[in-house]
Homo-oligomer: A and B are copies of this chain.
């Protein structure tokens, strides 16, 4: 049922049928994360987002008002996806290794959920770009608010103390950096890079290597 709905949507997209503005917005946001993630806020063009979403450039501008609003909506979407992934991982009641504490198990699940977000193409990179735009009046404020929200999740919902939360976020920032750097492109060719990569993705390595496209998405 869920499946047939998705297929019906795909068919509608394929056949050039008209969609509700809400569905188009969601579709454009997916494209926006991919494009903003690869090119950054200034480097991305509304035309590129439009082509990736299969609509015309003026329509993107009309649906979101401006490129800036589109970017704000994209990072809002990215943060919502991240937090909902974290909450699902935190609530997960599936049996875990009895040798580790429930807290450790939850931390592992949430870390995994963070890495799994690479499947939403450009999500990590778009957020990282937003975090670098602290000087921008609107984007900087939104980025700080989102960052604080994630911090509060670790402290309040997950129950980490300040040092644990800091270490958790630090690992996350390193992972995001490695994704943005496309270190995966050099994996296997340089032993130093391979070591660095293995150290960052100890358990998820096969998954990461499979999901991250290698040598594509070039400028």
* Residue positions of A touching B, CB distance < 8 A: 38-43, 125, 128-129, 131-137, 140, 143-144, 147-148, 151-152, 155, 162-163, 165-167, 169-171, 173-174, 176-177, 179-183, 185-186, 190, 192-193, 195-196, 198-200, 217-219
Contact = CB atoms under 8 A, between A and B. Distances in A.
Contacts of A38: 135
Contacts of A39: 42, 135
Given A40-B133, A132-B181, A173-B174, 6 more contacts: A131-B180, A132-B132, A140-B182, A143-B181, A148-B190, A151-B196
A169 to B, nearest CB: 6
B174 A166 contact: yes
Given A166-B199, A192-B151, A196-B151, A144 B182 contact: yes
A196 B148 contact: yes
24 contacts: A38-B135, A40-B42, A40-B132, A125-B132, A129-B132, A132-B132, A132-B181, A134-B180, A134-B182, A134-B183, A135-B218, A135-B219, A136-B219, A137-B219, A143-B181, A144-B186, A147-B183, A148-B190, A151-B196, A163-B199, A167-B167, A170-B170, A170-B173, A173-B177
A208 B56 CA distance: 46
Contact of A144 (B136, B137, B179, B185): B185
